[in-house]
Amino acid sequence: MSTLSRDEVARVAGLARIELTEAELDRLAGELDVIVSSVARVSEVATPDVPATSHPLPLTNVFRPDEPVAPLDREAVLAAAPAHEDGKFLVPQILEEEA
């Protein structure tokens, strides 16, 4: 027997403003019941001695330390650019608007 009734699925669909056909309500009631049953099975296994995980492999932060450094020299960066004007990069206009 389904733990989620067809009427409950119809009510939630109504709250979400999703229009479902009669066939879709029947199909979703069964599919959602499988999902709820699967979550219940996982909950049975989850005991206090089993730590919760969000990833199967242990991960660590791979970011470098956030340390302030001197910025790049503007003139050197602009010298390497194909075009620049007024201390800014100059790029081709792609929209048909006036600058």
Distance CA 79, CA 6 (A): 68
CA end-to-end span of the chain: 67
Within a domain: residue 84?
A: no
Closest CA to 87 of 68, 73, 99, 98: 73
Q: CATH code at 11?
A: 1.10.20
The whole domain housing 30 covers: 6-45
In this predicted model, what pLDDT tens digit does every residue of 35-94 receive, in sequence order?
Answer: 988 888 887 877 778 777 778 888 888 888 889 999 999 999 999 999 999 999 999 888
Tell me which DSSP letter residue 85 carries.
E
Residue 64 within any structural domain of the chain: no
**CA atoms of 19 and 23, how far apart (whole Å):** 12
List pLDDT tens digits, range 47-58.
778 777 778 888
Task: Report whether 89 contacts 78 (CB < 8 A).
Answer: yes
Average pLDDT over the chain, rounded to an integer:
87
Please report whether residue 88 resides in a domain: no
Predicted TM-score (pTM) of this structure: 0.45
